[in-house]
């Protein structure tokens, strides 16, 4: 059977990568390099840096730039490096985007401005300003549950006309709406919600931007391959097998917090440190997470 794969400017399986930190909260560049190598070895063909899972609201320049530059140097020849350029201050978002391009990022993830709840025209003007500030391909990020404002149909259609706006990371929870938008705009769509990865892929999404992929990237690679091969039964089985791990990382705690905790348990990073207002998991949460990882054979030590 011929492959059914859609176009994939931003790869097929990417991880919204955490930002490893030392115990004092400073960014751990050596561990960032190690984690990037680990994820690419696990099957990721793209990495998203300085997104929400990377604690972008509490990391700053120049440390964002040092982080991007290190990962580009480590795995840039093997995977697409996508840098987040998110802020509710348009001028700040532009500065982040420009710096990401200078430090070697291959693409941008641009989220709608959060908290200040601009009008739809304000959302459009913000995103357009960031897109126009660089020469990189752009993936829009629609996550109204966090930003407080959605990227509406009218402005999505306008943004889709821009030659560098090529994709959407959709975390709206509305697959039916996304399917309609995908067909109408011609943009590539990526699942931004691990619980809906299978649903998005069966609706023609180009791939996933995953948090759970920190520990099971290979499972999502297999799922994408099964969908491409038209083997829906295998894709369903793979999805079901990944559900307990998904629940352990995303079912109760915050994604960045639990992903770091899982990576620390595996020995991929030395510390699960996060910056306030995030806090590390409780002993009970760690115990439950360890049990799930052990039950699924995910606690082997990683060699570097």
- d(CA 53, CA 48) in angstroms, rounded, equals 9
Q: What does 168-231 look like in DSSP terms, one character per residue? A: EEE-SS-HHHHHHHHHHH--EEEE--GGGHHHHHHTT--EEEESTHHHHHHHHHHHHHHHHTT-
Task: Say what angle helices 213-228 and 29-41 make with each other, to 10 degrees.
Answer: 30
CA atoms within 13 A on the CB side of 16: 27
Bridge partner residues of 21 (DSSP): 27
**Residues with a known catalytic role:** 141, 169
Cα distances (Å, whole numbers) of residue 263 to 11, 14, 24, 81, 249: 23, 16, 18, 20, 11
Q: In DSSP terms, which residues pair with 169 in a beta bridge?
A: 141, 190
Q: How far apart are CA 107 and CA 110, in angstroms?
A: 10
State yes or no: cis peptide before 277, omega within 30 of 0: yes
What's phi and psi for 104, nearest 5 deg? Answer: 105, 10
């Amino acid at each position: 059977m011929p492959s059914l794969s859609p176009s994939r400017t931003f790869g097929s399986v990417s991880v919204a990568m955490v930002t490893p930190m030392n115990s004092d909260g400073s960014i751990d560049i050596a561990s960032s390099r190690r984690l990037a190598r680990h994820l690419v070895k696990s099957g990721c063909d793209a990495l998203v840096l300085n997104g929400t899972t990377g604690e972008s609201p509490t990391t700053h320049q120049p440390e964002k730039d040092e982080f991007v530059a290190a990962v580009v140097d480590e795995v840039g020849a093997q995977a697409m490096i996508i840098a987040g350029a998110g802020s509710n201050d348009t001028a700040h978002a532009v500065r982040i985007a420009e710096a990401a391009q200078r430090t070697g990022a291959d693409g941008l993830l641009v989220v709608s401005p959060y908290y200040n709840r601009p009008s739809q025209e304000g959302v459009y003007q913000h995103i357009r300003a960031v897109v126009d500030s660089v020469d990189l391909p752009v993936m829009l990020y629609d996550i109204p549950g966090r930003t407080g404002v959605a990227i509406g149909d009218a402005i999505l259609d306008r943004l889709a006309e821009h030659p560098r706006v090529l994709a959407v990371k959709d975390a709206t929870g509305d697959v039916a709406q996304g399917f309609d938008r995908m067909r109408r705009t011609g943009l590539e769509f990526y699942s931004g919600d691990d619980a809906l990865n299978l649903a998005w892929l069966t609706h023609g999404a180009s791939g996933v931007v995953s948090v759970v992929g920190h520990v099971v990237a290979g499972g999502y690679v297999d799922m994408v391959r099964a969908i491409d091969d038209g083997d829906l039964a295998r894709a369903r089985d793979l999805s079901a097998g990944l559900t307990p791990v998904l629940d352990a990382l995303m079912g109760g705690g915050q994604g960045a917090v639990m992903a770091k905790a899982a990576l620390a348990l595996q020995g991929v990073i030395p510390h699960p440190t996060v910056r306030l207002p995030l806090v590390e998991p409780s002993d009970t949460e760690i115990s439950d997470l360890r049990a799930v990882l052990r039950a699924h054979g995910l606690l082997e030590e990683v060699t570097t």
